[in-house]
Amino acid sequence: MIGQPVPNTFLSSLPLSRFEIDRDHLTRDIPDLFDVLAADESTRVLPIFNQQALLDPEHSRLVFLGASVLGDAEQLVYLGRSLAETSLEPVGTRLVAAELSEEAAKALEPDESRWVNLRLVAADLDDRDAGAFTEALGILNWHHSHTHCPRCGAQTVPEKGGWVRRCPVQQIEIFPRTDPAVIVGIVDADDRILLGSNALWANNRYSLLAGFVEPGESLEAATVREVFEESGVRILEPEYLGSQPWPFPASLMCGFLARVDPVTAADPLLPDGEEILDVRWFSRADLEDPAQTVLLPGSSSIARAIIEHWYGGPLPRPTW
């Protein structure tokens, strides 16, 4: 089995980058895999409904069920083998994500408070559960957007444990896709950090500037372009910190720190007015000021981790 690498200090602060699962790609090739798993009493199933999973609130862990749940699923994905030595399931247990219909989910657990959102609970879960939930949402969201062939429009068929969709007309395999995006902590000569407010948010919500990488573009070039487009700020030598999957629906957030180009440091801030309505420089004292009403990103986000990396510890401000 493939073990978990020792994380660096920054990566260990990213809840969705943690994992204790061997994705066990060879098992995906077993014919009638889910029939085999259904017949194995040791198989454990993570039920998913409406982007949510079941939580055991007493122990802050996800609920994994027996293989009988597999028959109620609308979509199945083989997640791999558990590597966690502290989970209820033994090391080597094969795990499956099962996406349920509303009817099946309510029959399984009618108490809506038991179904939880990954963004809200990720930081409280252990490495195995955080990784399993993130993996499950990422691949299930891909299935939702690839139900038909991009060449001919024929309905595609899931294969290989849910990790491939095949077009029966073109006889081509379609594999999961992840959209890379950059997110940047920008610091000026006074060691302040630049935060922006998105047009879709309440006007007191602020976060780091971010954007998708365009075709033919490096991560570093994307950071320079995105920051300038959204704020009018020129940056130099973006430093890569680490990455975190963000399965809402299918992104990989690549985190950077960068400093403002001193030649243009005096230029005015120019939010684009469409995606970003306001950009402001914040000192550490600003974030500590109780009179400030600014809300910062939640604990499951890489944005929060980058801001705390600059700040030097946990932030005192509330999150959204």
Torsion angles phi and psi, residue 145, rounded to 5: -100, 0
Does 66 score more than 70 pLDDT? yes
pLDDT in tens, 166-203: 999 999 999 999 999 999 999 999 999 999 999 999 88
- Statement to judge: residues 194 and 301 lie in one domain: yes
Choose between 243 and 9: higher pLDDT.
243
**What is the mean predicted confidence (pLDDT) over 208-235?**
97
Does 299 score more than 80 pLDDT? yes
Q: Is residue 287 part of a domain?
A: yes
Q: Is residue 104 part of a domain?
A: yes
Per-residue model confidence (pLDDT) at position 1: 52
Q: Is residue 262 part of a domain?
A: yes
* Number of domains within the chain: 2
pLDDT in tens, 19-38: 999 999 999 999 999 999 99
Answer with the one of 145, 167, 187 that is the final residue of a domain: 145
**What is the mean predicted confidence (pLDDT) over 41-58?**
96
- Statement to judge: residues 16 and 141 lie in one domain: yes
Least Cα distance to 57 among 127, 124, 134, 106 occurs for: 124
* Percent share of the chain, pLDDT over 70: 97
- Statement to judge: residues 123 and 230 lie in one domain: no
Which domain CATH number covers 194?
A: 3.90.79.10
Contacts 24+ apart (CB under 8 A), 31-36: 33/78, 33/160, 33/161, 34/70, 34/76, 34/78, 34/96, 34/161
Give the pairing of strands 157-159 and 164-167. antiparallel
Q: Is residue 159 part of a domain?
A: no
Answer with the one of 97, 121, 145 that is the final residue of a domain: 145
Residue the block writes with tokens 């798993």:
37
- Statement to judge: residues 70 and 127 lie in one domain: yes
Q: Is residue 167 part of a domain?
A: no
Does 2 score more than 80 pLDDT? no
Calpha distance 81→249 (Å, rounded): 24
The answer to whether 301 and 118 have CB atoms below 8 angstroms apart is no
The answer to whether 158 and 28 have CB atoms below 8 angstroms apart is no
- Statement to judge: residues 243 and 125 lie in one domain: no
How many CA atoms does the CB half-sphere of 55 hold within 13 Å? Answer: 21
The answer to whether 230 and 277 have CB atoms below 8 angstroms apart is no
Residue the block writes with tokens 């400093």:
259
- Statement to judge: residues 21 and 139 lie in one domain: yes
- Statement to judge: residues 191 and 128 lie in one domain: no
Per-residue model confidence (pLDDT) at position 7: 45
Q: Is residue 3 part of a domain?
A: no
- Statement to judge: residues 25 and 139 lie in one domain: yes
Task: Name residue 172's beta-bridge partners.
Answer: 167
Does 4 score more than 70 pLDDT? no
pLDDT in tens, 245-258: 999 999 999 999 99
Q: Is residue 155 part of a domain?
A: no
User: In terms of residue numbers, what domain contains 138?
Assistant: 11-145
Answer with the one of 145, 168, 193 that is the final residue of a domain: 145
Beta strands in 42-91 (DSSP E): 44-49, 52-56, 61-62, 73-82
- Statement to judge: residues 107 and 231 lie in one domain: no
Q: Is residue 150 part of a domain?
A: no
| Residue 18 CB contacts under 8 Å (≥ 6 apart), including other chains | 7, 12, 127, 130, 131
- Statement to judge: residues 229 and 294 lie in one domain: yes
Burial of 205 (0-12, 13-18, 19+ CB in 10 A): middle
- Statement to judge: residues 215 and 257 lie in one domain: yes
pLDDT in tens, 108-155: 999 999 999 999 999 999 999 999 999 999 999 999 999 999 999 999
Give the pairing of strands 209-212 and 179-187. antiparallel
Least Cα distance to 246 among 320, 138, 146 occurs for: 138
Q: How confident is the model at residue 12 (pLDDT cuts 50, 70, 90)?
A: confident
Between the alpha carbon of residue 173 and those of residues 24, 33, 109, 168, 271, the distances in Å are: 20, 18, 36, 9, 42
Q: How confident is the model at residue 8 (pLDDT cuts 50, 70, 90)?
A: low
